[in-house]
Structure 1
């Protein structure tokens, strides 16, 4: 008996594949091709490997389920088992040899079911295969292929199998980049293949029509490719362009506001140790392009230059062939969220003990060439930077270059800034001439940090401090903070785009080894964008040897006679600590941090998320039927609601596997429903037992529906309500007769949805007449 059963199952699977291999191959291929827009997002060969393997796995589960007539629960169980068994496809870097899942892999994929969707649209491409980035496409390909093949093999309308690939394509486009060159031809190509296959499967495609169909497909692909190449990227809707990154820059104080602290408290302390710093390169700490009257700060993404986003495999998607430098930085006496950068960063990798924590919180702004890590850097952190150092053009090259058109927020500046700017710019006519005039005028001031023994100079760069710098009776005195802040505002008042940069300037005399940057090397400068040259730096701060000598004499101090001071008053004894330890307030945040979720919790979250994704189609079917039932019961005239009640009974019978003739009268349909459940159709290996639904009184319901529809008088509201009460009673008896398991299988069946559309159109016509 066992050998015969096994032979029948193998023969059924083989026969199904032999008869329907074209359907299986077409829909599986469409699901795989629909992931094409994600290739530039991930930029790794691991993506097509994961998508193809997941699509094949979903196809196998759907084909075996169709051959053996599995219900929804066995198919979902097989799909979940396959998802876990091949979880290395979703997080290959955590798997053994990239293929064998480990506990870390299960935890990563479990988290990825929940978090990888957001990561795809918030992290700068290329994402690579690190962490659990591939979990989302792996899950999409698995579920979409299983659903598509199931629809192709187990429904009356195989063309429904085209819906999952089209949904996958739409999702891939939304999660992709702004490049439209492949999306339009890809969509047209998939639509053409789908239409040809659907027409062939339905028997509507004749042999003599193949040449015409081929010509239409080729013309569509060529036209679509041309439209994709010529289409402007601004018209493309992608989620990553509309999803704001998590960090709010206003949560972090402006680093320029703490400029004086470096030279006051850390003048001799090593802030950074840089190995491999190119000659002439500056270490950029933060780029500031917004001024609110108090401080220069990093602007909001909506109003400033660029936005901060998480990075994937590297910062820039493509690397130049030469001109790159590998710079290794070690953090010393520095604690802040801003990540020091060198030149134009292309890649950044943390290598210290906190590498994973800092990498997860890293956000980079490509436009301003700066980065921040939300956990904050501290002493001992290390990272390696791959950067390019652009050449700074001379004035001859900039003389005829126009200013670049960049987006910058509005700034609020004192009136003295505008008047001083016009006076400093003088008669200069070219942009570089006006910029150099302002720079040289500010360099005529005097330098001072305002420390002990130096010329008095207040810290800060608020409106009052800049007003005293530029509009006071005394000469200009300050350091890089005040002069850079003033020049940035002066240029903006002259309609010249400008931003202030804070960082570190390496000493001129240094060896070939690592360079230690102390607090004394902190600096600030101004950058202006030129067409064809990018952002060019300018240095308005006077030389440090330009010191203002106050000619006012300082009166000599006259010593005062010593006076015996009275003894200090007696101090009160300190309060003794409470004897009960529970009375002592302890800040839990200083004692311990919140424990991270355990591996088991992440696995549970991931399994729950996967189960929710898999059960979503069944939930949608149930919700559609609930909506259909409520519309039939409460919408329209009483006669239409009576007809809707009878349609509800027929739809339940259809979902239970009974075929009712569309031309039968209501009483004939009631008889067919009773007969169909009493003698189930043959051909199924697991035939349900005969069911007696006499208690359901379907004949009485049919007679009541006929009386309400064709009777001499129109039924009223109470008649419709009584009829629906009888319908509920009848369906309750029917549910008891067929059993709970068969009833719930009927609840998630889609057989009645096609039939109900025709019934709803008839009901709509009745409501219109009523």
Structure 2
């Protein structure tokens, strides 16, 4: 054995392989090189590090500005900036200490869950600091599924509670990835990947209203280009081909000027340039998961508020509203869709605005008088899924034992100002509301009103034409003049009836406003009905005249704020040419209650339809239910959320346990498959192909496995030089390295270890030897390499071996040069050049 062989003089006190692979003396405080800087000293950023931190913070901050239109309040800024600062800290530490990607991910996950409670969510904390299992559950759920829910919420979303996990996570990941990649890799293009992706995501997940065009457009581009220039200048020599700093500055200025000129010329022809207000985002492409057609329309149940009625609500208190000015209206629901059976609420308004889930605070979108009201629902009073509101709500907060159930599922259509709580009001609830109050409905209609046009119905309403012609024969003023004449005729010529008692003659006037009921209503000698028939008919007349109309059901509170059944009414709204809606009060088209049908009219109606004939039975969806007692027929939509931490929910626990077991089995299967593929690859390389190629692959596979274990094997050197590093990793422990980083020579290997230098020498003999080589020699080399590989693995810890088994990089190993060769010109492009 030659003197250069590191196994010639074996030391009796050779340390274990695990210590050597973990770095030897650098990890032992008592034997640390006194000249090496401490960990704390290494963590202090130098000038280049501070520059990168500053640019990364500026870019991520500009990108996060895109979330401004999606949140209401300043709490999201605190969460996003806290995440950004901690993300920059983790990215700097990971790059300085050369952490593996998995280590950095685990640290980020720990920071996200441990500090996400006090810095962002701030719910369910112990002493306001320590996170609870509920806090961790909220962070986990919102970090994965919260983005989809945020996109379906009505923007801007109230920045309180678990929703703050989204800006917290965005800032944390944005800061860590931006700085981590910049400090680890010298590639200039790679530096821009994370901030550009974050900017694109913030814009795509934003709203149709731009957050900050100048800042996110010009500001982001200026900061990013400046950072790329600084990093490019940092990697270049002071002189290159005779070009100095001045030449570079002039070249950069010329390129920037050319880019500005090209952008100015191309802007007019870019997509969307013709309509600057057009903005397509992900939020507009999503359909919120709520179908309001599942909820019964309140208009068919109007008679439960009249007299006489089995509900006995006519003189009973159904609501109490405090703080509302006299004459202001309470809106139960806006009904903007007629299907021939019922006026109901559409899933999307005529302008395409859907019902969206909202938080306690809602952004203002129109003018009005601000009011603060409190609504109380007494037991036995108002009930249903339609939440009574006033004006344009800007804040809704529930009180009482069901406050969380109602607040967690509050849906609002901002175009119709209609709110829905699927859990339903059952009586005994109280909620506070801030709103912008519009003018009250006019008792007299104006002579002139600029109304919109283009309305149409899918339902055949030809039965109205004869009445419309008779009522509007002398009307002037276009469509609005004709609608105004119809309203006046209804009030003056019609009569009022609620159907009377069960045995009275007025019971021939049935409830409902389907086409069949309204055909009989307008076909009578004199109209006879209540707000339900009159409002439904007037709205259909408006649609027939081409005016967009809708029906509103609500109430006018008394002076003391009490709403009784007799205060509930239905009225009509018409759309003006500016897009706003003008209320047509019920006093303008519904006859007075004391104007009952005459006896002759009752006998005529009885002869036509028969006394006390009930409406035909049929199967209808909940949105088209007829009759006053809808509570017995409506769909049970109360969905109570289950606490995942409740031990009684054994089925949920079994599902969670099965999910964890499945993940562990998948991970074990992945490790087993990768390990089998690598062993199969090594055997195939050693047994197929020309003999020199077999021998070369034996060494390449050994080097690839060594790198997977954690040995730093240099590239672009000879096999003998690589073997020295492999043997040194096994032999060196507790000994300092030379200043140039090369392993010390003459260190003995432990007993029973197959030296890598022996395998390298055998491979070189086969590759560079005469002839085609002996195939049996490759088999011997393969066996030696396998023993050397097992030696490398046996000295490492269990976690290192598991990580090596899961590492797929040996499967991707390709031909590696064993000598130093000139670098090709195409490799000079800095794509993924690592520092």
Matched, 1:290 2:341: no
The equivalent position to 1:75 in structure 2, one of 81, 104, 117, is 104
CA contact (8 A) 1:651 1:756 kept: no
Decide whether the 8 Å contact of 1:299 with 1:409 is kept in 2.
no
* TM-score normalised by L of structure 2: 0.68
SS of 1:346's equivalent?
strand
| Alignment of 1:492 onto 2:543 | yes
* Deviation (angstroms), 1:231: 7.7
Once the 2 structures are TM-superposed, how far is the Cα of residue 449 of structure 1 from its aligned partner? 0.7
Q: Per chain length, whose mean CA-contact separation is higher, i.e. which structure has more relative contact order (CA < 8 Å, sep 6+)?
A: 2
Whether 1:38 and 2:71 are equivalent positions in the alignment is: no
Report whether the alignment pairs 1:347 with 2:408. no
The question of 1:544 aligning with 2:577 is answered: no
Aligned to 2:534: 483
Q: Provide the rounded CA distance (Å) in 1 between the counterparts of 2:296 and 2:782.
A: 65
Shift of residue 729, structure 1, vs aligned partner: 10
**What is the number of equivalent residue pairs in this alignment?**
680
For 1:600-615, what aligned pairs fall within 5 Å after superposition?
A: none
Aligned counterpart, 2:235: 202
CA distance in 2, matches of 1:686, 1:136: 48
Indicate conservation of the 8 Å contact 1:461/1:482, yes or no: yes
**What SS is found at the alignment partner of 1:403?**
coil
CA distance in 2, matches of 1:433, 1:728: 98
- Cα distance change on mapping 1:140 and 1:400 into 2, 3 Å: closer
Residue 571 of structure 2 aligns with which residue?
Answer: 525
Q: Distance in 1 between matches of 2:172 and 2:785?
A: 37
Partner of 2:580: 534
The structure with the larger Rg is 2
- Determine helix, strand or coil for the equivalent of 1:436: helix
- The answer to whether 1:466 aligns with 2:513 is no
Aligned counterpart in structure 2 of residue 119 of structure 1, from 135, 149, 158:
149
Q: Distance in 2 between matches of 1:50 and 1:3?
A: 42
Name the CA shift for 1:298/1:700 in 2 (closer, same or farther; >3 Å): farther
What displacement does 1:696 show? Answer: 12
Distance 1:411 1:53, change over 3 A: same
- Counterpart in the other structure of 1:61: 90
> Would the aligned equivalents of 1:349 and 1:383 in 2 still touch at CA under 8 Å?
yes
Select 1:128's aligned residue among 158, 182, 185.
158
Contact 1:282 1:505 (C-alpha < 8 Å) held by counterparts: yes
1:338 maps to 2:390: no
- Asked whether the equivalents of residues 456 and 543 of structure 2 are also in contact (C-alpha less than 8 Å), the reply is no
TM-score for both structures, normalised by structure 1: 0.73
Aligned-pair CA distance for 1:243: 2.2
Counterpart position of 2:120: 90
Q: CA deviation at 1:428?
A: 3.5
Deviates more, 1:292-301 or 1:77-86: 77-86
User: Which residue, out of 315, 319, 322, partners 1:272?
Assistant: 319
Distance across 1 between alignment mates of 2:102 and 2:64: 27
Q: Is the 8 A contact 1:696 1:733 kept in 2?
A: no
Q: How does 1:193-272 map to 2 (within 5 A)?
A: 193-203=226-236, 207-208=245-246, 209-210=248-249, 213=252, 232=275, 235-263=278-306, 264=309, 265=311, 266-272=313-319
Name the counterpart of 1:720.
Answer: none
Give per-residue Cα distances to partners, 1:473-516, cap 9 Å, x unaligned: 4422111111111122222122211111111133xxx43x3x22
Matched, 1:312 2:345: no
Tell me what 2:621 maps to.
Answer: none
SS at match of 1:34: helix
Partner deviation per Cα, 1:151-189 (whole Å, 9 max, x = no partner) = 222335365343222222222112211123524335534
* SS of corresponding position for 2:99: coil
Alignment correspondent of 1:13:
42
Q: 1:731 to 1:84 in 2, by over 3 A?
A: farther
Change (3 A) 1:645 1:278: farther
Aligned equivalent of 1:399, options 424, 432, 448? 448
Task: Answer yes or no: is the 8 Å Cα contact 2:457–2:543 preserved in 1.
Answer: no
Q: What residue is the counterpart of 1:24 in the other structure?
A: 53
Aligned to 1:169: 199
Shift in CA distance, 204/447, structure 1 to aligned 2, threshold 3 Å? farther
Deviations 1:41-94 (A, max 9, x none): 223322222222222212222323333343345434433333333222221365
Q: How big is each residue's C-alpha offset from its partner over 1:327-359, in whole Å with a ceiling of 9 and x where there is no partner?
A: 111112122110011122222222233222211
> In structure 2, what is the Cα distance between the partners aligned to 1:19 and 1:604?
51
- Please give the secondary structure, in 1, of the residue aligned with 2:372: strand
Residues 152-167 of structure 1: pairs in structure 2 closer than 5 A = 152-157=182-187, 159-167=189-197
- After superposition, the Cα gap between the structure-2 partners of 1:146 and 1:419, relative to the gap in structure 1 and judged at 3 Å, is same
Shift of 1:195: 2.9
Q: How far, CA to CA, are the matches of 1:328 and 1:733 in structure 2?
A: 80
Distance 1:423 1:658, change over 3 A: farther
Query: Which residue of structure 1 lines up, in the alignment, with residue 25 of structure 2?
Result: none
Matched, 1:382 2:415: no
SS of 2:599's equivalent in the other structure is coil
Report the CA distance shift for 1:460/1:313 in structure 2 as closer, same or farther (over 3 A).
Answer: closer
Deviation at 1:99, TM superposition (A): 6.3
Alignment deviations for residues 506-529 of structure 1 (CA, whole Å, 9 cap, x no partner)? 3xxx43x3x221222221111111
- Distance (whole Å) between structure 2 residues aligned to residue 294 and residue 500 of structure 1: 14
Superposition deviation, residue 254 in structure 1: 1.3
Structure 1 unaligned blocks of 5 or more: 555-588, 712-724, 763-770
Distance 1:299 1:392 in 2: 24
Deviations 1:302-337 (A, max 9, x none): 8665211122352224786x8211111111212211
Preserved CA contact (<8 Å) 2:453 2:546: no
Name the SS for the 1:387 alignment partner: strand
Which residue is 1:138 aligned to? 168
Asked if the contact 2:754/2:784 (under 8 Å) is kept, the reply is: no
Deviation for aligned residue 1:387: 1.8
Question: Relative to structure 1, is the Cα distance of residues 757 and 677 closer, same or farther in structure 2, using a 3 angstrom cutoff?
Answer: closer
Structure 1's 255 and 726: CA in aligned 2 closer, same or farther, altered over 3 A?
farther
Provide the secondary structure at the position in 1 that maps to 2:73. Answer: coil
Relative to structure 1, is the Cα distance of residues 500 and 123 closer, same or farther in structure 2, using a 3 angstrom cutoff? Answer: same
1:677 aligns with 2:726: yes
SS of residue paired to 1:245:
coil
CA distance 1:752–1:553, change in 2 (3 Å): closer
Q: Distance in 1 between matches of 2:58 and 2:302?
A: 59
Separation in 2, partners of 1:204, 1:302: 64
Match of 1:586 in 2: none
Q: Secondary structure at the match of 2:146?
A: helix
> Structure 1 stretch 98-107 or stretch 261-270: which is displaced more?
98-107
The superposition leaves residues 95-129 of structure 1 with CA deviations (integer Å, 9 ceiling, x where unpaired) of: 58976656664454344334432332122233233
What displacement does 1:409 show? 8.1
Matched, 1:300 2:351: no
Of 432, 437, 448, the residue aligned with 2:497 is 448
Residue 280 of structure 2: SS of its match in structure 1?
coil
What does the per-residue CA deviation read over 1:370-407, in whole Å, with 9 as the maximum and x for residues that have no partner?
A: 101111112111111212222369789772624177xx
1:188 aligns with 2:221: yes
1:457 pairs with one of 509, 520, 526? 509
- Residue 829 of structure 2 corresponds to which residue in structure 1? none
Deviation at 1:649, TM superposition (A): 8.0
| 1:705-716 superposed matches below 5 A | none
1:17 Cα deviation from its structure 2 partner: 3.8
Structure 2 unaligned regions, length at least 5: 1-27, 239-243, 604-635, 773-778, 818-823, 825-835
